[in-house]
Amino acid sequence: MKDSNRRFRAIFFYTLVAVAVTSILVFLIWSLRPMILPATIGILLAYLFRPLKTAFKYHWLPEPIRAAFIFSLLTGSLLLGISFVQDNIPNQKENLELQVRLKYKFNEKFEKIMGIDPLTGKGHSIYNLIAHDVDPIRSGINKYLQLSPEQSETFMKFKNGVEGYEPVSEVYYQYYLANTKKIPNKNDKKENLAANTDAPAAAKSNEPSLLIYLLGTLSVWLLMPIIFIFFLLDDGAIAQYFIKLVPNRYFELALTLQEKVDGAIGKYLRGISMECALVAISMVIGLWLVGISFKVSLIIGVLTGVATVIPFLGTVVGLAASIIYVLIAEDLSPLIPFVNIDNAAIAVILVNIFVHLLDNMVFQPVVLGSAVNLHPLVIILGLLAGSMLFGAAGVVLAIPAIVVLKVVSENTISGLKDYRII
């Protein structure tokens, strides 16, 4: 009787504690959701770089110095990356030139492919068949790429010479002139003007001070390096704390599960990072061989590598970015003899197909071979659900969360049966 009373009190107490803790956790997660993304990235980075910490494990090297060294290495690489991106981000003049070039080359290629005669406006038979559907798309793209009156004014200023900038080259000026002949209609111009005059006013009325916004964002993101260092310094104390909360009956099962989840997340994260890096490197080499400048190849390669996290997206991003670049390229310096500006698009498509096959047939089996196997559809749905629930944080958290769910669901039931709990 005494025992059953105690048991009842224990169940009541634990249920109460569980409900209270869950409510507080939900409240905290919801209230502190801007901190989720930096914290998650910090934890994932610590996970990713854990083997590096082991690699630098020397008895004479204290733990904090080791973590600080890895952190400096990471920060250094990040700063180098930022400075590289800054160097390669086009300035205002280059931006305008790119827009002018993009519009001109788009129309030029379109007319060439569709066999359109610039005087009559008539194309080949296929074009005549699909003109009804294709023309609105073309005019939409043209509208998007059209310089606004303010931009046109700035372009002309650059053409006439602005201090600190090289004047706009004659070729781009000719492109600009050709583009101005293709302004869709006057209404578009009015819309553009309206949009340009209304937008700043609307922004001014709603936007808080930029400084306050930047300070707020910076203070939240300061959390990332702190979390990274603490998790990198951690020698299992965090996991041990949670294991301590597990009742004795489930102790060995919890240890086994924790080891499996830990191993699975580590393998998956390191595997996917390695895969992304290999795809990026392959793309850079492939595009560089085709004749795209090394800097542009690097940018497209990195974009493709990052997008590889999401199945198929890497291929789509790589293909789209490289084809668009090749279509607007003025000249190429290919290292492969038979590639020239006319067939570069085909060469780029072949590079993308080759990299895709390389990824599927070599990188994935070798690098991700022993990691958790996730179905592409599960990843896509998971990422969508993650972004809908928690925004950017959800996207970052989705894959590790799916890995945890998969490993836990696969091992919990068999573990509970092995330990005769169910």
Partner 1 sequence: MQEKKSINVFWGMIFRKRKPAEVSRNQFLKTIPFFEDLTQKQLKTLALYLHERRYEEDEYLFEVNHPAAALFIIGRGEIVVENSTGKENSNQLATIKSGEFLGELALLDSSPRSASARATKPTETYALFRGDLITLEKEDPQIASKIYRTLAWVIGERLKATNRQVETTRKVA
**Interface contacts to partner 1, rule CB under 8 A:** 54, 57, 59, 235-237, 240, 243-244, 248-249, 251-253, 255-256, 259, 418-420
Q: Which is nearer to partner 1, 87 or 235 (CB)?
A: 235
CB nearer to partner 1: pick between 263 and 311:
263
One-letter amino acid at 80 equals L
Q: Which of 46, 85, 48, 88 is nearest to 67 (CA)?
A: 46
Short-list 405, 369, 368, CA closest to 386: 405
Nearest residue (CB) to partner 1, 266 versus 391: 266
101, 232, 328 from 143: Cα distances, Å:
14, 50, 18
Place of tokens 């944080």: 393
Nearer to partner 1, 135 or 418 (CB): 418
Based on CB atoms, which residue is closest to partner 1, 188 or 262?
262
User: Do residues 350 and 374 touch, judged by C-beta distance below 8 A?
Assistant: no
- Smallest separation, CB 260 to partner 1 (Å): 9
Is the CB of 29 or the CB of 416 nearer to partner 1? 416
Closer Cβ to partner 1, 57 or 375, answer by number: 57
Distances (CA, A) of 79 to 43, 53, 166, 232, 298: 20, 21, 28, 20, 17
Q: How far apart are CA 220 and CA 74, in angstroms?
A: 19
Work out how close the CB of 235 gets to partner 1 at its nearest, in angstroms, rounded to a whole number: 5
Helices 313-328 and 344-358 sit at what angle, rounded to 10 degrees? 160
Q: Answer yes or no: are the C-beta atoms of 188 and 143 closer than 8 Å.
A: yes
Q: Is 100 exposed, middle or buried (0-12, 13-18, 19+ CB in 10 A)?
A: buried
Six token digits for residue 237: 């104390």
Distance CA 362, CA 313 (A): 18
CB of 62 to partner 1, least distance (A): 12
Q: How far is the CB of 266 from partner 1 (least distance, A)?
A: 11
DSSP string over 47-71 = HHTHHHHHHT--TTS-HHHHHHHHH
Q: Provide the minimum distance between the beta carbon of 255 and partner 1 in the complex, in angstroms, as a whole number.
A: 5
Q: Which of 166, 151, 132 is nearest to 196 (CA)?
A: 151
Residue 238 Cβ, how far from partner 1 at the closest point, in Å? 12
The nearest distance, CB 236 to partner 1, in angstroms, is: 6
Q: Least distance in Å: CB of 237 to partner 1?
A: 7
- Radius of gyration, alpha carbons of the chain: 28
CB of 259 to partner 1, least distance (A): 4
Q: Smaller CB distance to partner 1: residue 40 or 411?
A: 411
CB count, 10 Å around CB of 167? 13
Evaluate whether 266 touches 47 at the Cβ level (below 8 Å): yes
Give the tokens for residue 176. Answer: 């600009």
DSSP character for 120? Answer: T
Pick 242 or 354: Cβ nearer partner 1: 242
